[in-house]
Amino acid sequence: MTMTNQFLTLVLAVLSIVVAVSASTTHTTSSSSSSSDNSTSNSIPTPTITIGKDRNGVAVQMPLLGAGTWQYNDTTAYQSVCRAVEAGYTLIDTAYGYQNQVGVGLALNDCWFGSATATAAVRDDLFVLTKVPGGLSYEATMAAHYQNLWELQLDYTDHLMVHFPSDWQQHNTGKHQRQEQWRALEQLYQLGKTRSIGISHYCSQHIDDILEIATIRPTLNQVEYHVGSHDVDDVIQKCTRENIYFMSFSPLCGPCQYQPEDSLVNGNLVQDIASHYPNKTGAQVALRFIVQQALEGRVTMAGVIPKSNNPKHIATNQDIFDFTLTQEDMQRLEDAVKPPGEPGDCNVP
């Protein structure tokens, strides 16, 4: 596809989303209003961690909880991000490969910048995390992130990851490919197009490939992690040893296959533990299990990015910082083996 055709395609995509969003505005507003009586307001600010420094030496502060957008189309991503922003979220997670960044960008423009004066302070309060596909050349990586910025309507992102240690089909892979792509991320960092850089789905050997040549070390590695998964392939321990923050995706095991009693939303274990804490749900227990490890500093844990387009769930997912799980309950959650984690990324050559 030529650059002109790609640009026209994106323009048409933007126009279609604007029409869809306009048509659904009344429905979205009424849905938010009708559920507001049932949603939980979070009165405690989301804690942050310092994951590194940007090219100017300014600390990069990342919230321990954000809003995910995986599997959402542009229209749903727009609605979800707007609802998350209205609920007080400041971290938004997306990716080139999600094919929804036009919707995310429109949501940020309308519901973040459009709700206040668009000053530097307002942008500084926002944390946008995105990704470029794995398996790309240096030039293609640079182009992909400039495409990210165009779609998101931003001058820079707060964090940029390589999404996978190869392309999804594992055709373009290997140590030298990963190193070439990492050099492109370092250049984007030096140009100020992202404030920090990292990786996703990387196992120990993939991390070693990057560290062998890195002049700027990765600050995050985003990998599936939840109650029951344990440290699949010992990636958490590897990240801890290398002082790389480990960030959980799918903290409620959304794409997992499991029996209803093992659900991390309303399964037996999380529901039983939730009964020990007033007005808390099983999902809140499962999310708290991860962020409490970050707050206790036992490992270099970097929080969670649950996904929802339901205003009530968006609010309750955020309301996990006003209680502390006992050590007994933490141990029960640590000992759980269901739903199990899914190993496999370490097979990428």
CB atoms within 10 A of CB 93: 25
- Give the separation between CA 327 and CA 253, rounded to whole angstroms: 23
- Give the separation between CA 124 and CA 315, rounded to whole angstroms: 23
- Give the separation between CA 133 and CA 6, rounded to whole angstroms: 17
- Summary count for the chain: helices (H), strands (E): 12, 9
> CB-based contacts of 49: which residues, under 8 Å, 6+ apart?
61, 62, 64, 245, 294, 302, 303
Q: Which helix (H) or strand (E) holds 283?
A: helix 282-296
- Give the separation between CA 4 and CA 87, rounded to whole angstroms: 38
Catalytic site residue 138?
Answer: no
- Please tell me which residue in 72, 78, 98, 156 is annotated as part of the active site: 98
Given a contact cutoff of 8 angstroms between Cβ atoms, the answer to whether 158 and 196 are in contact is yes
SS3 category, 29: helix
Instruction: Give the sheet arrangement for strand 197-200, strand by strand.
Output: 91-93, 127-132, 159-162, 197-200, 220-224, 245-249, 301-304
**Positions marked active-site:** 98
